[in-house]
């Protein structure tokens, strides 16, 4: 019992402490019951202590309970029949425990040692073979409509290509698995056409597709558009209205320039005119043109010069507002006219006359502005008609009371001194190789693998140059100086049969010198060369309907043009390589750029020029000429100071206040007029030939009274962006007829002309100042009839001269003029029995073509 009591005492102590302790705020102990026993402390129902950091919950009110005695000596409990003693309930006030905030317990990190698992070796699992079901593939195809020639390439899912040559059904060779998405696109367009996917161009395959529809249509290339603008001088008042065709614009007071909002895009010469003069300031305006454009897309072609109409003075007699006029131009430039105002007072009406000396002046005239005022219009000659220098003229103005000018009024005559200064041209600096396109060949019948090319600088100064080839098979002289030779050597060893292309880049360390490039082609073949041309264009050899033929300077191709069609034939294989039909165009002439990248077609129908990419025989653009008439129908490709240009035999050009006929120089790519070849318009040209470097032009012309001559023109450039040609030599005019052919050597130093009434051609050499005739060529030995005339003349790359006559005789002369070979009575089927002027030589010097025949050159 002692142990028990002891345990219970401990229990009571614990409970008492939990319920209040000695100052815990739980209230006084309960009063003892009437039985004399001390009251026992009720058992606490406080829940377990909260976890660290948690709040202690409030203790609810506890009801009083009968105390339990723990004293063993206490009397026993009363008999159950004895009525119980009812104790009044003891009400304990609620005990509110303040919240206990436990500080956070930070556990130190426990680092577990790494557990190394022993490797577990899995037994190999053998998979049973899986049998795949067969894959179903479907074809993709359709139809092409509207296609007029080869060149169209279709593509399936950016992977498979298919070439289509004409209208037909098509199908790609490889099928696609069922459920695959497909897309058909046009990878490459055919020449002069635009093809589009019209139907079923994409989808998901569940069966064969044959419903893809490709429609092709001709492209109508718009002509070049020019933004016509100009400058205005002296405008004070409002009311000036200018016209360009049907367009009219008002120019505000004080303006110094004007521009028409709608581009000019017809084949007519754009000419600006004055519709109405300024009204608010009493002025009159004059529209003139410098004769050429500036900029690639802007025709800055007009000067508007405005002067006051009010009299200068009220003093009786003749007065002018200035006594001198100065013109300044760079060689190749035409200055705009200038005006001098004048007044006639005291005599009405007065007769005014103008006299002009013509050292540098083209014309001068007087126009009336009002009853008492007028203006003198003065215009100098073209700088192309004069050498650089200073030219002085005097303009004399007389005002008289009578028409015979026997009674001059006070102040008459007046003189105006005119000074015209022409500065030497400031040629843009560029490297100019004598050839920009070179052709090599290695075949069983002959090889051409070396070429020497002189490299010049356009302004004539000496500069260093460096050359770099981009192909291992082509070696180039690494460096040199102006007028030095660049040696190109091709090595065909290891190359496959076919055509190979490389580029030689030419640069200079001298600042401001434009770089250049030479395009080089190498044709290699182990096959024997063809002797005939297959699939030739009809009538290309008909003398009454002659076609046009030009040789590619890089590739072994010759281009023939008849009607609206151009065909490219291979000079070794003889086959037709490509065809281009220019619907709606009548081909008058054909030219090829010096590097062989472009073909230029002169259209005889609408005076337009079509630019063609020679590599693909596709149209790049079509340009309308700024002309409505021209004679000769000839075009030549030039290259001056790094620019590709074209020269026409004759076209309209604006000049001064008028439009006149001239031989324009055009930017090849856009057709913009940049200058003219002076004096060519004075004759009717019949044939044009350009030197190999594109700097010297020869024209076989018909002079007065049927006399024939050859003219030499040097093509030049100035610092104002203008290009022009000046005459540097004229052969004697001969009383002969029917120009047959014209040949120019590589550097333009020699020209050969053949006529129908002459048994042999005439050969001229340029000595630096004139064309000098070389020793006469010996007539052909069997030429017993005077009409056995020379038919064709041509120079090859080594300056050898090839010629034939109508009696089927052939000669080849070396560059020094000595005879190398002669063949008499050549069989009719040979290249020599061709219409006059149709013989051509390949650019590698190894092949000849005439008519439908091909042959190796001797």
Mean pLDDT across 695-702: 87
List beta partners, residue 380.
Answer: 361
Asked whether the beta carbons of 52 and 80 are under 8 A apart, the reply is no
Name the helix (H) or strand (E) containing 361: strand 361-368
CA distance 441 to 804: 25
Other CB atoms within 10 A of residue 69 CB: 14
Is the pLDDT score of 686 beyond 80? no
**Cα atoms found within 13 Å of the Cα of residue 650, Cβ hemisphere only:** 18
**First and final CA of the chain: distance in angstroms?**
149
Q: Name which of 328-337, 522-531, 709-718 the model is least confident about.
A: 328-337
List beta partners, residue 353.
Answer: 398
Quote the tokens at residue 575.
């086959």
pLDDT, tens digit (0-9, with 9 covering 90-100), for 511-532: 999 999 999 999 999 999 999 9
pLDDT at 756: 79
pLDDT, tens digit (0-9, with 9 covering 90-100), for 599-635: 999 988 766 789 999 999 988 888 776 555 555 678 9
Quote the tokens at residue 209.
């597709």
Name the helix (H) or strand (E) containing 16: helix 2-19
Q: Name which of 264-273, 275-284, 532-541, 688-697 the model is least confident about.
A: 264-273
What Rg, from alpha-carbon coordinates, does the chain have?
52
Asked whether the beta carbons of 738 and 756 are under 8 A apart, the reply is yes
The segment with the largest mean pLDDT, out of 225-234, 301-310, 688-697, is 688-697
Mean pLDDT across 802-820: 83
Going by pLDDT thresholds of 50, 70 and 90, the confidence category of residue 809 is confident
Q: Whose CA is closest to 666, among 767, 591, 613, 570?
A: 591
pLDDT at 128: 66
pLDDT, tens digit (0-9, with 9 covering 90-100), for 403-414: 888 899 999 999
Is the pLDDT score of 401 beyond 50? yes
Is the pLDDT score of 592 beyond 50? yes
CA distance 854 to 834: 12
Mean pLDDT across 128-133: 66
pLDDT, tens digit (0-9, with 9 covering 90-100), for 6-41: 333 333 333 333 333 444 444 433 333 334 444 343
Is the pLDDT score of 99 beyond 60? no
Going by pLDDT thresholds of 50, 70 and 90, the confidence category of residue 368 is confident
In the sheet that 819-823 helps form, which strands lie side by side, from edge to edge? Answer: 790-795, 801-805, 810-813, 819-823
pLDDT at 61: 42
Residue 4 main-chain phi, psi, to 5 deg? -65, -45
pLDDT at 740: 82
pLDDT at 230: 85
Going by pLDDT thresholds of 50, 70 and 90, the confidence category of residue 541 is low
Quote the tokens at residue 376.
């003198």
pLDDT, tens digit (0-9, with 9 covering 90-100), for 246-259: 899 999 999 999 98
Asked whether the beta carbons of 309 and 372 are under 8 A apart, the reply is no
Is the pLDDT score of 353 beyond 60? yes
Q: pTM (2 decimals)?
A: 0.70
Mean pLDDT across 193-220: 87
Mean pLDDT across 425-442: 96
pLDDT at 296: 40
pLDDT at 804: 81
Asked whether the beta carbons of 694 and 655 are under 8 A apart, the reply is no
HEC-encoded secondary structure of 733-792? CECCCCEEEEEECCCCCEEEEEECCCCCCEEEEECCCCEEECCCCCCCCCCCCCCCCEEE
**Residue owning tokens 């044939």:** 687
Is the pLDDT score of 313 beyond 70? yes
Residues 6+ apart with CB under 8 A from 718: 330, 331, 332, 333, 425, 426, 427, 724
Going by pLDDT thresholds of 50, 70 and 90, the confidence category of residue 480 is very high
CA distance 426 to 360: 21
% of the chain at pLDDT higher than 70: 74
Q: How far is CA 631 from the centre of its chain?
A: 31
**Residue owning tokens 């709606």:** 584
Residue 51's alpha-carbon distances to 44, 102, 109, 170, 623, in angstroms, are 19, 8, 22, 85, 96
Q: Name which of 160-164, 690-694, 756-760 the model is least confident about.
A: 756-760
Going by pLDDT thresholds of 50, 70 and 90, the confidence category of residue 712 is very high
CA distance 832 to 821: 14
Q: Which domains does the chain have, with CATH numbers?
A: 137-218 (2.60.40), 309-423 (2.60.40.3450), 431-524 (2.60.40.3170), 531-624 (2.40.10.480), 632-735 (no CATH), 738-858 (2.130.10.10)
Name the helix (H) or strand (E) containing 8: helix 2-19
Q: Select the more confidently predicted residue: 380 or 312.
A: 380
Q: Select the more confidently predicted residue: 490 or 92.
A: 490
CA distance 561 to 563: 7
Q: Select the more confidently predicted residue: 122 or 468.
A: 468
Going by pLDDT thresholds of 50, 70 and 90, the confidence category of residue 787 is very low
Average pLDDT in the chain? 80
Mean pLDDT across 42-65: 39
CA distance 468 to 506: 7
Residue 369's alpha-carbon distances to 308, 340, 346, 396, 775, in angstroms, are 8, 12, 16, 19, 63
């Amino acid at each position: 019992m002692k142990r028990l009591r002891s345990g219970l005492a401990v229990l009571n102590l614990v409970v008492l402490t939990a319920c209040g302790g000695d100052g815990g705020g739980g209230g006084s102990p309960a009063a003892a019951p009437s039985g004399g026993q001390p009251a026992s402390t009720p058992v606490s129902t406080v829940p377990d202590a909260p976890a660290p950091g948690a709040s202690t919950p409030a203790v609810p009110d506890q009801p009083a309970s009968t105390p339990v005695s723990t004293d063993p000596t206490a009397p026993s409990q009363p008999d159950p029949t004895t009525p119980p003693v009812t104790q009044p309930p003891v009400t304990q006030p609620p005990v509110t425990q303040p919240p206990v905030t436990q500080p956070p317990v930070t556990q130190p990190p426990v680092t577990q040692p790494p557990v190394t698992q022993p490797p577990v070796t899995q037994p190999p699992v053998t998979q049973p073979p899986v049998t795949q079901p067969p894959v179903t593939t479907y074809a993709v195809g359709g139809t092409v409509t509207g296609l007029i020639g080869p060149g169209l390439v279709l593509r399936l899912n950016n992977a498979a290509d298919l070439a289509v040559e004409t209208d037909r059904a098509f199908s790609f060779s490889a099928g696609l698995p069922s459920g695959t998405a497909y897309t058909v696109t046009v990878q490459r367009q055919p020449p002069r056409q635009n093809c589009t996917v019209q139907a079923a161009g994409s989808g998901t395959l569940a069966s064969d597709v044959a419903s893809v529809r490709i429609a092709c249509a001709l492209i109508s290339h718009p002509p070049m558009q020019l933004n016509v603008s100009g400058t205005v001088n002296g405008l004070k008042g409002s009311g000036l209205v200018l016209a360009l065709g049907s367009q009219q614009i008002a120019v505000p007071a004080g303006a110094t320039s004007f521009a028409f909002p709608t581009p000019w895009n017809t084949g007519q010469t754009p000419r600006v005119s004055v519709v109405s003069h300024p009204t608010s300031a009493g002025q009159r305006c004059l529209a003139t043109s410098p004769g050429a454009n500036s900029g690639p897309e802007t025709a800055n072609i007009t000067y508007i010069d405005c002067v006051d109409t009010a009299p200068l003075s009220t003093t009786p007699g003749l007065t002018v507002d200035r006594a001198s006029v100065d013109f300044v131009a760079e060689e190749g430039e035409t200055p705009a006219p200038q005006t001098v105002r004048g007044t006639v007072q005291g005599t009405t009406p007065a007769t005014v006359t103008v006299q002009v000396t013509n050292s540098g002046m083209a014309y001068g005239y007087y126009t009336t502005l009002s009853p008492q005022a007028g203006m003198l219009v003065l215009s100098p000659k073209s700088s192309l008609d004069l050498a650089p220098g200073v030219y002085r003229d005097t303009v004399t103005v007389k005002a008289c009371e009578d028409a015979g000018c026997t009674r001059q009024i006070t102040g008459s005559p007046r003189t105006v001194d005119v000074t015209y200064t022409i500065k030497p041209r400031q040629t843009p600096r560029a490297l100019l190789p004598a050839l920009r396109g070179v052709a090599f060949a290695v075949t069983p019948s002959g090889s051409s693998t070396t070429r020497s090319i002189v490299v010049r600088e356009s302004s004539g100064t000496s500069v260093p140059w460096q050359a770099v080839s981009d192909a291992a098979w082509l070696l180039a002289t690494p460096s040199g100086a102006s007028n030095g030779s660049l040696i190109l050597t091709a090595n065909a060893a290891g190359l496959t049969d076919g055509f190979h292309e490389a580029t030689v880049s030419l640069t200079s360390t001298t600042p401001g010198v434009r770089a250049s490039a030479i395009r080089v082609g190498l044709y290699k073949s182990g096959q024997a060369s063809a002797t005939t041309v297959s699939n030739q264009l009809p009538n290309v050899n008909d003398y009454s309907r002659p076609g046009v033929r030009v040789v590619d300077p890089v590739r072994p191709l010759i281009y023939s043009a008849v009607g609206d069609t151009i065909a490219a034939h291979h000079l070794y294989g003889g086959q037709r390589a490509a065809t281009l039909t220019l619907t709606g165009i009548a081909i008058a002439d054909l030219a090829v750029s010096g590097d062989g990248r472009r073909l230029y077609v002169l259209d005889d129908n609408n005076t337009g020029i079509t630019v063609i990419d020679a590599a693909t025989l596709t149209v790049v653009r079509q340009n309308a000429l700024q002309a409505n008439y021209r004679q000769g129908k000839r075009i030549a490709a030039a290259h001056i100071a790094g620019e590709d240009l074209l020269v026409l035999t004759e076209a309209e050009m604006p000049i001064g206040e008028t439009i006149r006929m001239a031989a324009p120089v055009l930017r090849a790519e856009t057709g913009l007029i940049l200058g003219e070849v002076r004096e060519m318009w004075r004759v009717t040209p019949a044939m044009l030939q350009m030197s190999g470097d594109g700097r010297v032009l020869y024209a076989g012309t018909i002079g007065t009274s049927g006399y024939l001559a050859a003219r030499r023109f040097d093509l030049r450039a100035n610092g104002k962006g203008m290009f022009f040609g000046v005459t540097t030599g004229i052969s004697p005019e001969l009383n002969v007829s029917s120009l047959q052919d014209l040949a120019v050597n590589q550097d333009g130093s020699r020209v050969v002309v053949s006529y129908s009434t002459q048994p042999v051609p005439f050969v001229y050499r340029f000595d630096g100042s004139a064309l000098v005739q070389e020793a006469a060529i010996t007539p052909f030995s069997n030429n017993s009839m005077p009409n056995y005339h020379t038919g064709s003349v041509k120079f090859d790359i080594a300056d050898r001269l090839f010629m034939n006559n109508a009696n089927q005789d052939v000669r080849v002369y070396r560059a020094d003029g000595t005879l190398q070979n002669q063949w008499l009575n050549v069989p009719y089927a040979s290249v020599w029995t061709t219409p006059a002027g149709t013989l051509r030589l390949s650019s590698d010097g190894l092949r000849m073509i005439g008519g439908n025949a091909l042959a190796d050159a001797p």
